[in-house]
Amino acid sequence: MKIQSNKQYNPQMHSAEHILNQTMVRMFDCGRSFSNHIEKKKSKCDYHFNRNLTEAEILELNQRVNDTIKRNLAVVEEFITRDEANEKFNLERLPDSAGETIRIIKIGDYDSCPCSGLHVSNTEEIGSFKIISTDFNNGVLRIRFKLQNTE
């Protein structure tokens, strides 16, 4: 069962993007992506950063994301008040039109964030994550990635 929403992102890719974001936060304390483009074939995330990633960091990032996917974590939605969400999350990208009840997507004990996109119900549905390229320009690190073994 897919978790439904208004955005029509590919559920596998979008769920992988959440895991990548949390992994970037944990590895580099850089914050979640400020911009992204999520498509079934390949996707990209942009981060405020101070350099490109090294090959060793790319390998570790791939490994950590894939290790998290392999944990077969449940992906669930929860609804909380805007005030509660404001205490726990950065809501600056959330439009005022989102209302007073905010949808939170939780990926096991690994990640949670406000979101209106489509998601898998378990990380086992994602497939294998792979960074295909990175580059750095003017304070922005761009990570391009794809998934394998997905339907």
- Please, are residues 135 and 128 in contact by the beta-carbon 8 Å criterion? no
Q: Which domains does the chain have, with CATH numbers?
A: 11-148 (3.30.980.10)
Distance CA 119, CA 149 (A): 17
Share of the chain above pLDDT 90, in %: 84
Read off the tokens for 81: 């008040």
Distance CA 41, CA 99 (A): 32
Range scoring the smallest mean pLDDT among 7-11, 25-29, 44-48, 66-70: 7-11
Does the pLDDT of residue 68 top 70, yes or no?
yes
Task: Extract the runs of DSSP E, i.e. beta strands, from the chain.
Answer: 35-37, 43-48, 75-81, 101-107, 111-114, 128-137, 140-148
pLDDT of residue 94: 82
pLDDT of residue 6: 45
pTM of the prediction? 0.92
pLDDT of residue 64: 98
Range scoring the smallest mean pLDDT among 21-30, 40-49, 57-66, 96-105: 96-105
pLDDT of residue 1: 43
Residue 97's pLDDT band (cuts 50, 70, 90): confident
Does the pLDDT of residue 41 top 70, yes or no?
yes
Handedness of CA 118, 122, 125, 131 (dihedral sign): positive
